[in-house]
């Protein structure tokens, strides 16, 4: 009997309970009545029950059991419920636009019900059958609050303007939400950028990331140090809980071993921050690219003279070093079918159009002509040294000139061979495009580049290894195609085409990349 029960357990995610087990909210009973499982119903997605039992949290196929008890949901009038919490930048404009687009594509009516400044919900209804099929509830606050709600089991998805932090990652794993830094646990909905802004009357036009860190930490407090007037610098920042403020701390200050000065003026919204900086002749701040208002954005530069500006092309290719992905974190939990369909929709072409119309950079791979790539080849010419350098430069130009670059790029975590969070999402996006047949009959070339540290021969070898790693990741991710209609290959040019100065850590990070070129 024990062996029989074990087999049934494996097949139906059930476990035996004794006759004396006390039902909490529901009892799930196999259709022949031989096996039952009692516990607290945590969720039902129209197909599967999620139950907290004495054996832990279990997921049970609803087709194999009967539900008894006051907590049992209605099978005929099931309403898919989804709770989404986190960044106001993502939640106020982008997510509502995507929900409304999803409803329209699926013939559903989307009614928005506002509860207060931070809470609203969309009621999705089937017009023909005149019944509600889904409720998507939003709490719009900050990235911090989003992760807190997820850990407290008060949210199913998190909207974030930064990557999940190590402490949050550990806590999520401990409460059974899975490893949220794995490929399928997060996706990039759109791209934004941390943009350094000043007043339009400020004479400064560019700033290095190193100097930005010193300004934010208070180590530089006078504009004269930066080539401006002899006047104190006033620093403006978002509130401490916002994702963009935390991303500045994680990606600008921490690598420089600095902390944000206490003498900063905080703002509750990006719009308020940009407005304050525009009106403050001595002010500086870091704002979302999508909401810089009338302020003046500064280019990022370095000692070698290369400059990178936050613009649509540089942000989408991630060449701009302070690109800020807009993440949606998805725990290891089965969501209702309608919610899963919505997540799949966010990767589609119509969703990318909606993302662009909402004012953000979409994730759809885009082909870029050679003459639209700014100073990239000029940079390559400026660093080519000796006969070997010129020979490699000629090979690169001859190889890439007949091709067009895709906007999809891949970069790696600092000091690691692992793709960073945005690039892991890019793998899925490009794989989806390949599966959809967008590149049938064409060739995709994964081209590796490195920084200029160390011998050129070693850099070329590392760049080739990275290109191979990305190609393998794409081949692994493509599930619905045998790749017979598209040719994938690799090449590498090492340090031949730098995007930023190699004498800074952020510059080297920008230069270590794999680009995708299409024939």
Among candidate residues 369, 435, 375, the one with its CA nearest the CA of residue 406: 369
The answer, yes or no, to whether residue 22 has pLDDT greater than 60, is no
- With pLDDT > 90 as the criterion, what percentage of the chain qualifies? 46
Topology alike, domains 192-316 and 365-518? no
Which pLDDT tens digit goes with each residue over 284-330? Answer: 999 989 889 999 999 998 777 778 888 888 888 888 888 888 999 99
Alpha-carbon distance 387 to 384, whole Å? 9
Does position 490 have pLDDT exceeding 50, yes or no?
Answer: yes
CATH: 3.90.1300.10, 3.20.20.150, 3.30.1330.60, 1.10.3720.10. Which one for 365-518? 3.30.1330.60
Task: Mean pLDDT check: name the lowest of 54-63, 134-143, 147-156, 165-174.
Answer: 54-63
Q: Mean pLDDT across the stretch 411-419? A: 75
Tokens for 88, please give them: 């106001």
Q: What are the tens digits of pLDDT across the range 355-397?
A: 999 888 888 888 887 655 555 666 656 555 656 667 777 888 8
Determine the 3-state secondary structure of 413 from DSSP: coil
Of 68-72, 106-110, 164-168, 284-288, the poorest mean pLDDT is in 68-72
SS3 content of the chain, % helix, strand, coil (to 5): 35, 30, 35
Residues 6+ apart with CB under 8 A from 212: 196, 252, 286, 300
Do residues 54 and 39 make contact, with C-beta atoms less than 8 angstroms apart?
A: yes
pLDDT of residue 383: 58
Q: How confident is the model over 177-202, as pLDDT tens digits?
A: 999 988 788 889 999 899 999 999 99
Q: From the centroid of its chain, how far is CA 337? A: 22
Per DSSP bridges, beta strands 206-208 and 283-288 are: unpaired
* Contact present, 156 and 84 (Cβ < 8 Å): yes
- 75 pLDDT exceeds 80? no
Q: Tell me, what's the pLDDT at 341?
A: 94
Which one of 3.40.50.1980, 3.30.465.10, 3.40.190.10, 3.40.190.150 gives the CATH number of domain 192-316? 3.40.190.10
- Report pLDDT digits (tens) over 95-126: 999 999 999 999 999 999 999 999 999 999 99
Average of pLDDT values for 472-482? 83
> Could you tell me which CATH number the domain at 2-68 has?
2.30.30
Domain residue limits, the chain: 2-68, 192-316, 365-518
pLDDT at residue 415, as a whole number: 62
Check if the beta carbon of residue 284 is closer than 8 Å to that of residue 196. yes
Give the separation between CA 26 and CA 38, rounded to whole angstroms: 6
pLDDT digits 0-9 by tens, 440-458: 999 999 999 888 787 778 8
Tell me the mean pLDDT in the region 56-80: 84
Q: Which residue has the higher pLDDT, 38 or 43?
A: 38
């Amino acid at each position: 009997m024990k062996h029989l029960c074990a087999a049934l357990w494996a097949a139906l995610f059930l476990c035996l309970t004794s006759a004396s087990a006390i039902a909490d909210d529901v009892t799930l009973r196999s259709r022949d009545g031989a096996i039952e499982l009692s516990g607290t119903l945590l969720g039902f997605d129209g197909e599967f029950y999620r139950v907290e039992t004495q054996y832990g949290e279990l997921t049970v196929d609803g087709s194999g059991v009967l539900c008894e008890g006051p907590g049992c949901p209605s099978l005929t009038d099931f309403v898919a419920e989804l709770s989404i919490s986190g960044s106001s930048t993502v939640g106020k404009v982008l997510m509502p636009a995507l929900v409304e687009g999803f409803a329209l594509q699926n013939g559903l009516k989307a009614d928005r019900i506002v509860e207060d400044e931070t809470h609203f919900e969309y009621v999705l209804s089937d017009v023909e059958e005149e019944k509600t099929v889904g409720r998507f509830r939003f709490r719009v606050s900050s990235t911090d609050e989003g992760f807190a709600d997820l850990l407290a089991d008060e949210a199913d998805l998190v909207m974030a303007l930064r990557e999940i932090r190590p402490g949050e990652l550990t806590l999520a794993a401990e409460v059974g939400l899975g490893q949220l830094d794995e490929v399928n646990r997060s996706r990039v909905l759109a791209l934004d950028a941390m943009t350094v802004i000043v007043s339009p009357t400020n004479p400064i036009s560019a700033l290095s990331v190193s100097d930005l860190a010193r300004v934010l930490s208070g180590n530089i407090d006078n504009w004269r140090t930066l080539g401006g007037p002899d006047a104190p610098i006033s620093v403006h920042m978002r509130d401490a809980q916002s994702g963009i403020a935390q991303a500045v701390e994680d990606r600008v200050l921490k690598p420089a071993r600095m902390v944000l000065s206490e003498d900063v003026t905080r703002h509750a919204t990006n719009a308020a921050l940009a407005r304050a900086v525009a009106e403050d002749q001595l002010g500086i701040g870091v704002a979302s690219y999508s909401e810089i208002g009338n302020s003046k954005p500064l280019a990022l530069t370095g000692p070698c003279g290369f400059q990178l500006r936050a613009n649509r092309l540089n942000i989408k290719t991630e060449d701009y070093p302070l690109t800020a992905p807009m993440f949606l974190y998805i725990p290891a939990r089965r969501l209702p079918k309608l919610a899963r369909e919505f997540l799949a929709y966010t990767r589609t072409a119509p969703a990318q159009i909606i993302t662009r119309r909402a004012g953000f950079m979409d994730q759809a791979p885009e082909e870029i002509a050679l003459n639209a790539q700014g100073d990239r080849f000029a940079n390559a010419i400026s660093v080519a040294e000796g006969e070997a350098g010129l020979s490699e430069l000629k090979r690169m130009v001859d190889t890439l000139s007949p091709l067009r670059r895709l906007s999809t790029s891949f970069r790696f975590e600092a000091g690691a061979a692992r793709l960073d969070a945005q690039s892991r999402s890019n793998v899925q996006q490009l794989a989806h495009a390949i599966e959809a047949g967008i590149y049938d009959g064409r060739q995709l070339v994964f081209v590796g580049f490195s920084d200029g540290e160390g011998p050129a021969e070693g850099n070329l070898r590392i760049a080739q290894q990275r290109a191979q790693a990305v190609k393998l990741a794409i081949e692994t991710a493509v599930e619905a195609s045998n790749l017979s209609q598209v040719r994938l290959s690799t090449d590498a040019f090492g340090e031949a085409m730098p995007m930023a100065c190699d004498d800074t850590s952020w510059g080297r990070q920008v230069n270590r990349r794999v680009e995708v070129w299409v024939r």
